[in-house]
């Protein structure tokens, strides 16, 4: 197998390719990341962000120029982010570990350096059939300037035929393993995290070698208020580098390997978002698991990586998306540098294998990451973009049905009815009884609480979400999930002509739906125009004049 097919982007990707070559469990032909296949000059992330900004601008222009702009929304601008971080640091004290109880993971461990307590850091290395790469990573961890007795290394093996042996190291290290049931990098990371003892979790791919200051840079970022840190992934040809040569290179600058080009799409994304401090809902697109670190608290709050990802790519974006919605502060630490063995694959967009892999990852992401940038529109998904809780107690079935119809129209939405008496009349899979599951709430970008049925007109719920947080009338408020978790619940009153959400009186469904059908018929007849307008169309399309 050619080298570029064996090394498609990270240790996990290489594992997928190696397993495919060995004829073992079925995999996508080539495990190539979507983000590594993006064009360097115009990435899909930038294009998606541009489309989202344009869509939101159109919604704001149509609904009300005075609705809060993105820069004014909580967490959307750099100034607001810095203000939020300062407030959090004031609440939490000078360092993260200060208020942890004795039973908390990592409690009782640490060392003071100046005024800051250094935490126990667990480095989780997912691995599959790459002993040379693993030896380089473990050697590089010996060179960390973070105290080695505060370093806890866990190698999480994804079913290698021979269990990896880390050998004697000056830090605590152990191996945990799971059976080879296919490509399960997400499950391997979760396995390693469960075995880890530190209050900070660093995830490093098995072919990504950290510089001596990597762990310290991560710790500084977390002490400064970050909840999730993504390092700087650089690229070099390390295929012929031995552990001894690696030491000389990292410590003395002697015998450097060939340095390869850095991914332009990542650099552009970090520059546009001020290293993720001013990022929006697309922040997850610039988080890569090869150099991802987080607090144990956040990792456990969001539930770790989604183990349904069973092919290469996407699980890091999905994890970062949930962290973002949870209210986490994301930071790109430029000084947390690690070297990936092999080139980035951002330019590979034309071959059939790359297209297949992009579609595999794209479909996996669409299931779990709501939003028009990941799933377009028009389909029904188990994890909607907008979650509506509607108290339908005491309302007539007709009132509930008409309210639900108006809320679902044109939106990626799910509705949960408190009483659900009308549910037996509806076959729509987007309508449910009871409370939305935690897995749904954790992924929806927007939330709506209704204490009674309302009929939304003049705008779709998805359009209101584009200008959230916003209130329409007395009962309908659309909030951003991220704002809710950050305790920022304020919402501006929408003042847009024709947009309303009144409480319906008695509803005559036949008359209401009949009027809508009549308006649609009139509009289509106007579209048909004269016979001259239909010239050139097939007879079965043009019909009779």
Would you place residue 310 in the very low, low, confident or very high pLDDT band (cuts 50, 70, 90)?
confident
Asked if residue 255 and residue 147 are part of one domain, the reply reads yes
The CATH number of residue 288's host domain is 3.90.550.10
Q: What mean pLDDT do residues 288-293 have?
A: 96
Three-state secondary structure along 236-266?
ECCCCCCHHHHHHHHHHCCCCCCEECCCHHH
Asked if residue 348 and residue 421 are part of one domain, the reply reads no
Which of 220-229, 313-322, 365-374, 452-461 shows the lowest per-residue confidence on average (mean pLDDT)?
Answer: 365-374
Asked if residue 350 and residue 402 are part of one domain, the reply reads no
Residue 276 within any structural domain of the chain: yes
pLDDT at 452 over 90: yes
Cα 330 from Cα 39, distance rounded (Å): 25
pLDDT tens string 297-307: 999 999 999 99
pLDDT at 530 over 90: no
Residue 187 within any structural domain of the chain: yes
What six digits make up the tokens of 168? Answer: 């004697």
Q: What mean pLDDT do residues 484-510 have?
A: 85
Asked if residue 390 and residue 325 are part of one domain, the reply reads no
The total of structural domains in the chain comes to 2
**283 φψ region: left (φ > 0), alpha (ψ -120 to 50), beta (else):** alpha
Would you place residue 285 in the very low, low, confident or very high pLDDT band (cuts 50, 70, 90)?
very high
Closest Cα partner for 365 from 319, 304, 416, 433? 319
Asked if residue 402 and residue 348 are part of one domain, the reply reads no
Residue 218 within any structural domain of the chain: yes
Backbone dihedral angles phi then psi of residue 474, each to the nearest 5 degrees: -90, -20
Residue 538 within any structural domain of the chain: no
Q: What mean pLDDT do residues 518-526 have?
A: 49
Domain of 273, in residue numbers:
121-365
Residue 164 within any structural domain of the chain: yes
pLDDT at 507 over 90: no
pLDDT at 202 over 60: yes
What six digits make up the tokens of 480? Answer: 């951003």
Q: What mean pLDDT do residues 510-535 have?
A: 53
Grouping H, G, I as helix, E, B as strand and the rest as coil, residue 428 is coil
pLDDT at 516: 54
Asked if residue 188 and residue 143 are part of one domain, the reply reads yes
Backbone dihedral angles phi then psi of residue 260, each to the nearest 5 degrees: -105, 170
Three-state secondary structure along 398-420?
HHHHHHHHHHHCCCCEEEEECCC
Would you place residue 109 in the very low, low, confident or very high pLDDT band (cuts 50, 70, 90)?
very low
Higher pLDDT, 421 or 96: 421
Asked if residue 487 and residue 405 are part of one domain, the reply reads yes
Q: What mean pLDDT do residues 537-544 have?
A: 46
Residue 540 within any structural domain of the chain: no
Higher pLDDT, 533 or 109: 533
Asked if residue 308 and residue 211 are part of one domain, the reply reads yes
Asked if residue 286 and residue 190 are part of one domain, the reply reads yes
pLDDT at 89: 46
Residue 216 within any structural domain of the chain: yes
Asked if residue 326 and residue 392 are part of one domain, the reply reads no
Q: What mean pLDDT do residues 183-208 have?
A: 96
Q: What mean pLDDT do residues 222-241 have?
A: 97
Boundary-marking domain end, from 314, 336, 365: 365
Asked if residue 506 and residue 403 are part of one domain, the reply reads yes
Cα 230 from Cα 202, distance rounded (Å): 10
For 478, counting Cβ atoms within 10 Å of its Cβ (0-12 exposed, 13-18 middle, 19+ buried), the class is buried
pLDDT at 374: 85
Residue 470 within any structural domain of the chain: yes
pLDDT at 363: 82
What is the average pLDDT value for the chain, to the nearest integer? 79
pTM: 0.77
Asked if residue 496 and residue 461 are part of one domain, the reply reads yes
């Amino acid at each position: 197998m050619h080298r570029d097919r064996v090394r498609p982007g990270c240790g996990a990707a290489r594992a997928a390719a190696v397993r495919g070559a060995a004829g073992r469990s079925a995999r996508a032909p080539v495990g190539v990341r979507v983000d590594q296949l993006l064009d360097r000059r115009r990435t899909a992330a930038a294009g998606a962000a541009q489309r989202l900004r344009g869509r939101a601008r159109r919604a704001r222009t149509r609904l009300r120029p005075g609705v809060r702009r993105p820069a004014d929304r909580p967490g959307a601008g750099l100034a607001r982010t810095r203000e939020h971080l300062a407030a959090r640091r004031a609440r939490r004290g000078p360092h993260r570990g200060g208020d942890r109880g004795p039973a908390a993971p990592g409690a009782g461990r640490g060392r003071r350096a100046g005024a800051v307590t250094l935490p126990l850091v667990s480095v989780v290395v997912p691995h599959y059939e790459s002993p040379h790469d693993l030896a380089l990573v473990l050697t590089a961890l010996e060179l960390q300037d973070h105290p080695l007795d505060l370093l806890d290394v866990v190698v999480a093996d994804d079913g290698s035929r021979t269990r990896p042996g880390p050998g004697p190291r000056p830090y605590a290290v152990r191996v945990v393993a799971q059976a080879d049931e296919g490509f399960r990098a997400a499950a391997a990371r979760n396995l390693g995290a469960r075995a880890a003892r530190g209050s900070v979790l660093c995830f490093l791919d098995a072919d990504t070698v950290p510089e001596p200051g990597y762990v310290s840079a991560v710790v500084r970022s977390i002490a400064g208020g970050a909840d999730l840190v993504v390092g700087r992934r650089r690229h070099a040809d390390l295929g012929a580098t031995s552990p001894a040569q690696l030491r000389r290179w990292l410590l003395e600058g002697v015998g450097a390997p060939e340095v390869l080009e850095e991914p332009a799409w990542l650099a552009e994304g970090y520059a546009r978002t001020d290293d993720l401090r001013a990022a929006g809902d697309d922040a997850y697109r610039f988080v890569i698991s090869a150099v991802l670190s987080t607090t144990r608290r956040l990792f456990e709050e969001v539930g770790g990586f989604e183990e349904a990802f069973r092919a290469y790519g996407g699980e890091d974006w999905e994890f970062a998306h949930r962290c973002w919605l949870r209210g986490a502060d994301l930071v790109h630490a430029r000084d947390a540098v690690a070297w990936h063995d092999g080139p980035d694959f951002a330019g590979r967009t034309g071959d059939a294998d790359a297209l297949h892999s992009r579609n595999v990852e794209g479909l996996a992401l669409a299931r779990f990451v709501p939003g028009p940038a990941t799933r377009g529109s028009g389909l029904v998904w188990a994890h909607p973009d907008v979650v509506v809780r509607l108290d339908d107690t005491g309302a007539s079935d007709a009132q509930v049905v008409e309210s639900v119809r108006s809320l679902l129209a044109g939106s990626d939405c799910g509705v949960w009815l408190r009483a659900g008496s009308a549910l037996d009349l509806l076959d729509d899979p987007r309508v449910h009884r009871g409370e939305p599951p935690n897995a749904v709430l954790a992924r929806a970008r927007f939330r709506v609480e209704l204490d009674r049925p309302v009929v939304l007109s003049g705008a779709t719920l998805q359009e209101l979400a584009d200008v959230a947080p916003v209130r329409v009338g007395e009962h309908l408020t659309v909030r951003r999930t991220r704002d809710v978790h950050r305790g920022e619940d304020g919402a501006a009153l929408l003042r847009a002509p024709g947009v309303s959400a009144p409480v319906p009186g008695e509803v005559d469904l036949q008359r209401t739906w009949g009027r809508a059908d009549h308006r649609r018929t009139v509009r289509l007849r106007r579209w048909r125009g004269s016979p001259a307008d239909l010239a050139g169309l097939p007879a079965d399309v043009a019909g009779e004049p």
